[in-house]
Structure 1
Amino acid sequence: MSEAINPKVLLQRIDQMERELEKLRLEVLKMRAENLPVEEVDEETLKDLEKRFEEYKSRKAKVVSGKEAVRILTQMLED
């Protein structure tokens, strides 16, 4: 017998995973920037890092919302 899936718990977990993923992305960018010699850090890389950090701080980072995740999952189940 299959267990019922609680959508609220699923959405909370998806939201948590999105936040964790964005934190990891920022850490990778930070590590890449720190490992480059100063003369190799170009303006584009620096601006991208700053932009992503600001988006993360203001919670405007590009992630899939819980509602969008539900829509995608529902569509996948229907197909």
Structure 2
Amino acid sequence: MTEQVAHGQNPKGFPADLLNVARRKLVMLDNAAVLDDLRVPPANRLEALKGDRAGQYSIRVNDQFRLCFRWVDGNAEDVEFVDYH
């Protein structure tokens, strides 16, 4: 589903405004030169994940959805658009 969103497709069952925010955040991930670039805007709420997602980070799309990813050599990899609840 993450690839669909990134390529402008609208998966069924997702509001257009949510998908637009997700696309904007995907662009932020792509443009970030260092992980700390994702601390702005503060609403991203960049955080290191724990447990079975240790080694990954997330930024918020909204209260329910996140973009989870690994940060490797200045790039976001294995990016997932996930329902966190």
Which structure has the higher relative contact order (CA within 8 Å, separation 6+)? 1
State the TM-score, normalized to the length of structure 2: 0.30
